[in-house]
Structure 1
Amino acid sequence: MSVLISGCFGFIAKHIIHDLLDQKYKIIGTVRSQEEREKLYKQFGNNSNLTLEIVEDIRKEHAFDDVFKKHSQEIKYVLHTASPYDLETTKFTEELYKPAVFGTRAILNAIEKYGSDTVERFVHTSSYAAIMDFETERVEGTVYTENSWNPDNWDQAQECASRAYNGSKVLAEKEVWNFVKEKEGKVKFKVTTINPGYVLGPQTFDEDISKKLNTSCEIINKLIHTDPSSEINPSEIYGCFVNVLDVSKAHILAFQRDELIGKRLLMSEGRFSTQDVLDVLNEDFSVLKGKIPIGYPGTGAMHHNIGATVDNSETHRLLNFKFKSFKETIDETAEQILRVENRQGH
């Protein structure tokens, strides 16, 4: 039996593919174009356990129907990772809401039509964005847990791209939970959602390092390439982080372990801010000293609470593995970037 992964060209998805192939799973993945398909086949060495199908636009009502018509009897697990994370867009509905919400609806409907008897587990890549409240994120004393929900509706989410992204994620996740409740008895699959904060860490392949990286990793990449005289807001970025390797592991455990059925896994290994990234880069990479801003060392969120906190002790208990540290995560990300740029690491 196979694992279906949507959005295979994404940062998280590539790591999941790598880890599943290592465990000898057969994968049916979706990509947006022939170009993406050819690149992924090449990157994964034309592995015979990887089959890629093209789904050009997940916003379309029947986007995943052909994939499930073709492979329905093979697919036992579905990992829905496809969802845009773009904080520069101004087209909130078309480029955030519709891909997230309509895409989720399309894959769930395809499972019901063609895989209701064969698909056993559905793992949804949600986000901390579906948990946090935009109004209280920087209010000290606020505590978020696996049971917390972003209260925004789509009208409230129009304030800015960040809030619109958060709104798209909470509404997409609600699609999943509402679907399984409404379709009880009609589909047999069980759900787990993965709710990570900023997902940081290395790219699966060095060749994926480019001038501009995916939205989360670009936080680190941008600081590596920021002139030391630039004005830096040490708390511009504030949130919780988790290493992409841990997020990949959680996706796989989510369909392997029965105790994770029906759970929201809030993946965070602590709070950080822009200043915390600068502190690690300046301390651990001699090649960057004098080349990037220093900011105000020791004043970041890792040392001083500047807003809401996260209690994800239930997630740690359920997953039962140690998450990678902030220092390790920043080091892994920066080392790869500097190596590809032929700049000495440490």
Structure 2
Amino acid sequence: MSKPTVFISGANGFIAQHIIKQLLDSKTYKVVGSVRSAAEAEKLESDFGNHPDLSLVIVEDLSKPNAFDSVFKEHGASFDYILHTASPVNFAAKDLEKDVIVPAINGTKSIFQATVKYAPNVKKFVQTSSVAAMVNVNSSNTTKEVITESSWNPITFEQGLENQLNAYLYSKTAGEKGLWELHKSSNAKFPLVVINPTYVFGPQAFDSSAKGSLNASNEVISAIVQSKLNDDNVTNVKGGFIDVRDVARAQVEAISNSNFNGRRMILDNRNFSSQEVADIINANIPQLKGKIAKDVTLKEVGPGFSANIDSHVSKELLGFEFIDFPKTVIDTVDQILRV
């Protein structure tokens, strides 16, 4: 009996690489992943040791209408599950609509429509969204707001164009809302599951991916690692966290667990702060003890950092113990120091 095939978009992304690793390690699935260039495909194939159950295809530009059509016309009949993880996280973008909002919305629309048209055997579609699609941009920094799986960010397109953070918030919100609407209007035969993580920390799947700038969340840890003892300008980021390995596990389990069907799943372990990151490093990494920032400034940035996240429903459905924050930080810092 042949193994079912999982198509995963943005296969060289931080979360996606961990998903692929867990899928291949299970020896249960074949994986087809999309990347934007032949060079990215070559590197990823090398990282995975040219695994016989992994193949890669090129989707150059998510923002183009029908971006996934050619790939799905050729391969779609072999796909059993779709995991859509590709979406821009670009806090340096100059053209917020072109570089952040449009790719997120069009990419999601394109892959879903291609699935409906060209992948008749798909049994489930799993989307990686974010808790950013749930927070209220106007009240997320108050402890009175409670975020649950039914919460939606009411951010407008006009607000999304105000700054880079708002562009990210709007892209996640509009992309996910559009997906639920498409699923309903197309009368899709397959169920939809959406994964909404908070800050995603943890080591890269491969040391080769830990060189240079890291993903936006891990840059919070990297900033502490690179700080000096008397630095007084390190931002103390606060919010909910989840380990990337738990995010990947949730996606893999969403494939076969029918209890997830039709649900939004908040992935949140507990709250963290950059001050806690500094404390963990000072207590557990001897080569950095006493050399990094000890007292981190109390400046808060980003969405939902004081709001209460109620994720008990998702945690009960998942049914596994999340990796704790000290291990997440230590594993991440160890990798940064190796590289």
CA distance in 1, matches of 2:296, 2:200: 24
CA distance in 2, matches of 1:241, 1:139: 18
CA distance in 1, matches of 2:117, 2:263: 25
Question: By how many angstroms is 1:234 displaced?
Answer: 5.4
Secondary structure, aligned partner of 2:212: coil
Secondary structure, aligned partner of 2:34: strand
Are 1:143 and 1:310, in contact at CA under 8 Å, matched by a contact in 2?
yes
CA distance in 1, matches of 2:230, 2:268: 32
Please state if 1:112 is matched with 2:116: yes
Question: By how many angstroms is 1:26 displaced?
Answer: 0.4
CA distance in 1, matches of 2:333, 2:133: 28
Of the structure 1 ranges 137-146 and 50-59, higher mean CA displacement relative to structure 2 is found in 137-146
Secondary structure, aligned partner of 2:81: strand
Please state if 1:18 is matched with 2:17: no
The CA deviation string for residues 275-303 of structure 1, in whole angstroms up to 9 with x for no partner, is 12111111211211232110169x899xx
Question: By how many angstroms is 1:38 displaced?
Answer: 0.5
Secondary structure, aligned partner of 1:4: strand
CA distance in 2, matches of 1:239, 1:37: 34
Cα 1:48–1:208 change in 2 (3 A) is same
Secondary structure, aligned partner of 2:126: strand
1:163 corresponds in structure 2 to 166
Question: By how many angstroms is 1:208 displaced?
Answer: 1.3
Secondary structure, aligned partner of 2:280: helix
1:308 corresponds in structure 2 to 307
The aligned amino acid for 2:324 is: S
> How much is the aligned-residue C-alpha RMSD, in angstroms?
1.8
Alignment of 1:97-246 (within 5 A): 97-115=101-119, 117-184=120-187, 187-232=188-233, 235=236, 237-246=237-246
The aligned amino acid for 2:327 is: E
The aligned amino acid for 1:138 is: N
Secondary structure, aligned partner of 2:80: strand
Identity within the alignment, %:
40
CA distance in 1, matches of 2:195, 2:26: 20
Secondary structure, aligned partner of 2:61: coil
Secondary structure, aligned partner of 2:82: strand
Unaligned runs of 5+ in 1: 341-346
CA distance in 2, matches of 1:278, 1:220: 8
2:320 corresponds in structure 1 to 321
Question: By how many angstroms is 1:131 displaced?
Answer: 0.8
Out of 12, 15, 27, the position equivalent to 1:9 is 12
The aligned amino acid for 1:244 is: V
Please state if 1:90 is matched with 2:94: yes
CA distance in 2, matches of 1:178, 1:306: 28
The aligned amino acid for 1:4 is: F
Are 1:5 and 1:78, in contact at CA under 8 Å, matched by a contact in 2?
yes
1:338 corresponds in structure 2 to 337
The CA deviation string for residues 244-298 of structure 1, in whole angstroms up to 9 with x for no partner, is 000000111111100000111100111122212111111211211232110169x
Secondary structure, aligned partner of 2:161: helix
The aligned amino acid for 1:3 is: V
CA distance in 1, matches of 2:117, 2:262: 22
Question: By how many angstroms is 1:196 displaced?
Answer: 0.3
CA distance in 2, matches of 1:46, 1:11: 19
CA distance in 2, matches of 1:254, 1:335: 30
Are 1:227 and 1:291, in contact at CA under 8 Å, matched by a contact in 2?
yes
Cα 1:296–1:43 change in 2 (3 A) is closer
1:275 corresponds in structure 2 to 275
Unaligned runs of 5+ in 2: none
Of the structure 1 ranges 85-94 and 249-258, higher mean CA displacement relative to structure 2 is found in 85-94
Cα 1:123–1:224 change in 2 (3 A) is same
Cα 1:326–1:238 change in 2 (3 A) is same
Alignment of 1:48-63 (within 5 A): 48-63=52-67
Question: By how many angstroms is 1:136 displaced?
Answer: 1.6
Cα 1:300–1:138 change in 2 (3 A) is same
Give the TM-score normalised by the residue count of structure 1: 0.92
Which of structure 1's runs of 4+ aligned residues deviate more than 3 A? 232-235
Are 1:239 and 1:271, in contact at CA under 8 Å, matched by a contact in 2?
yes
Secondary structure, aligned partner of 1:159: coil
Are 1:274 and 1:300, in contact at CA under 8 Å, matched by a contact in 2?
no
CA distance in 1, matches of 2:185, 2:80: 21
CA distance in 2, matches of 1:285, 1:300: 25
